[in-house]
Structure 1
Amino acid sequence: MNSDFNINADPRKINLLTEKFPNVDSRSLNTLVLFVQTAHEVYNGVSSRLSEYGVSIGNLKILMPLYLYDRSLTPSELAEYSGVTRSTVTSVIDKLERDGIIRRSTLTDRRMTAISLTDEGKQLMTERIPLFIQLFSDLMNEFTQEDHDLFATLLQKLSSGVERIKQE
């Protein structure tokens, strides 16, 4: 994010916005901007570290259920487990198949595609999964148990707010 337009860095910038939009709560706006900036930094930081291992967040969303369930999954199951669209899953599967990490096969009725890890994919996950988990865990190692509980509660409230504005 361009540091010239870092709203959170200067409360006066938030005040300028709330002067123009008097119905906006400056504390809510400031907190949301801080959250969005932090989420962006977390995503970029994790993405950067994962790329050092030749894996992207999108790849990991597909590889993780295959590794954890240790069986073939359909593209629809992978989309459901990973929380992404079926078309996104298809493009990630195409890339991972080209890279030799997963393979496609057909299920018994031959109408459904089954996706599974190749030996190379299993090795990648077996060797790298502890590193991935440690990376994610390290992001939160400053938190106490109370911090974790409070943060989870606040994120659930934020999620409820997102659902509410989707309905409006």
Structure 2
Amino acid sequence: MWLTMLQLSDLPTEEILQRFAQRYPEADVTAIASFLMLLRVATDLSMALDACLSKHDLLQGRWWVLILLMREQDLTSQPSVLAEKLGVTRATMTGLLDGLEQGGLVQRESVPQDRRSVQIKLTAAGQAKLDAVMPDYYSRLRLCMQGLSERQRSDLQSILGVIDRGLSAWDFHQ
């Protein structure tokens, strides 16, 4: 599910966080500060990606579908597999695919062995759209990350992996 994330532009100071920690003993000031900064950066990155993609008349959901199809050897996948990989409902995926199909970027193909089933194929126009978007995306990504050394990038991935494993504390999948 794609949600609009709120932009918290005024992060609390350490003094404010300490005040909260006095009232709520469970509060870990450095954990809160790190979490809020990560959330803000993630929001900023998502907004920047939206702005980049909108210049190419794409939305994130549709772009990710095109990316997932391009990753496949035969440029084809099933709608249910795409929905699972994107973490969206089948109904949401249907909407994404309808829009992409109307734009000529994907096409639905019947499965010969099971005519009730359909596969989604990236079209030449879909590939051309990605060929137009990806150089812009990669250039912006390179500029965004240029302040980090290779070692720092590796460390960042490790740190984010630890945070990802800690997401179970939020219990949001249940």
TM-score by length of 1: 0.87
- Whether 2:63 is the aligned partner of 1:98: answer no
* Higher RCO structure, 1 or 2 (CA under 8 Å, sep 6+): 2
Does the Cα contact within 8 Å between 1:7 and 1:14 map onto a contact in 2?
no
- Is the 2:53–2:133 contact (alpha carbons within 8 Å) kept by the matching residues of 1? no
Q: Which residue of 2 aligns with 1:156?
A: 161
Instruction: State how far apart, in whole Å, the 1-side matches of 2:125 and 2:90 are.
Output: 24
Distance across 2 between alignment mates of 1:30 and 1:147: 20
Structure 2 letter corresponding to 1:59: R
Q: Give the superposition deviation at 1:73.
A: 1.2
Alignment of 1:46-85 (within 5 A): 46-69=49-72, 70-85=74-89
Distance (Å, rounded) in 2 between the aligned partners of 1:141 and 1:85: 36
CA distance in structure 2 between the partners assigned to 1:155 and 1:117 by the alignment: 31
Q: In 2, distance between residues paired with 1:22 and 1:106?
A: 59
Task: Write out aligned runs for 1:35-50 (5 A).
Answer: 35-50=38-53
One-letter code aligned to 1:113 = V
Structure 1 spans left out of the alignment, 5+ residues: none
TM-score by length of structure 2 reads: 0.84
CA contact (8 A) 1:107 1:113 kept: yes
Corresponding residue number in structure 2 for 1:107: 111
- State the number of aligned residues: 165
Counterpart of 1:31? 34
Inter-partner Cα distance in structure 1 for 2:8 and 2:87: 30
- Taking every aligned residue pair, what percent have the same amino acid on both sides? 22
The structure whose residues are more often helix, as a share, is 1
| Unmatched runs of 5 consecutive residues or more in structure 2 | 1-6
Select the residue among 86, 100, 108 that pairs with 2:90.
Answer: 86
Kept after mapping to 2: 8 A contact 1:7/1:13: no
| In 2: Cα distance, 1:2 partner to 1:157 partner | 24
